[in-house]
Amino acid sequence: MKVKTADVSKLYDSYEVLKRINMNVDDGNIYGLLGPNGAGKSTLLKMLSGLNAPSLGEVYFNGNALHIDDGHVKPLIGSVIETPVFYNHLSAYENLSIHLEYMNTDHLTIEEALTIVGLKTAGDLPVAKFSLGMRQRLAVARAFIHLPELLVLDEPLNGLDPKGVKEMRALFKKLRGQFDMTLIISSHILNEIEHVADEIGILHKGELLTEVSMQTLKINYPDGIETFFFNMTEGDG
């Protein structure tokens, strides 16, 4: 799915959280959205997920304007935004089953999704017994089990140990390659985004400062993504 925003702004009362965002995500790419805390990343991701509407401007999917009340849009998007919420007294399997009933579309089997995120043996456990990392894996499984065209993930590596981070990194590439999903990933772990992203955008104080391909960034900033990020956000870009 190709994603574009045209002069998207978001205001709460008189405070402008996002300012005329013009974002372009190519079909089948992994796009890393980077920015300091308070930059507006979660607000932007909510609009790209159809959970919130812009105050001004438009979001486009494959050239068509997104309207959050359009029923046909819901199955096209999977998302993990902020802290995932589950029915804690129910099992992982039951939580995914409820989600699939709600989405009412083609999907992977629950067993397939749990296996992909490394929870194959935990499907019958109540989510109340899950660690933070396990909950994060389950949230990602819920986001992609219905095979969306666009997957929006806000800090999906939270709570994962190094092994889990490596596995999740491989999962992102698999979802893009095997299932032809476009991914937009926000993370404060800059070097992990460097490993998976085709392109990055830097959001700072509600403004999209730049979009650049990882190929171009590596040529111009051989020291890596951290140098580029701090140069941009500290005013030296």
DSSP per position, 40-73: SHHHHHHHHTTSS--SEEEEEETTEE--TT-GGG
- Structure tokens that stand for 103 in this block: 């989405």
3-class state of residue 206 by DSSP: coil
**105-116 pLDDT, tens digit each:** 889 999 999 999
Top pLDDT among 10 and 158 is at 10
Contact indicator for 23, 4 with CB cutoff of 8 Å:
yes
* Residue range 16-57, pLDDT digits in tens: 999 999 999 999 999 999 998 889 999 999 999 988 999 999
The arithmetic mean of pLDDT across residues 69-80, rounded, is: 85
Q: In this model, does residue 235 exceed pLDDT 80?
A: no
Q: What pLDDT sits at residue 105?
A: 87
Q: Residue with structure tokens 């190929």?
A: 215
pTM value is 0.93
Which strand (E) or helix (H) includes residue 138?
A: helix 132-144
Q: Is residue 66 scored above 90 in pLDDT?
A: no
CATH homologous superfamily of 3-233: P-loop containing nucleotide triphosphate hydrolases (3.40.50.300)
> Residue 151 above 90 pLDDT?
yes
Average pLDDT score over residue span 148-174: 89
Summarised one tens digit per residue, pLDDT across range 179-222 is 999 999 998 778 888 889 999 999 999 999 999 999 999 999 88
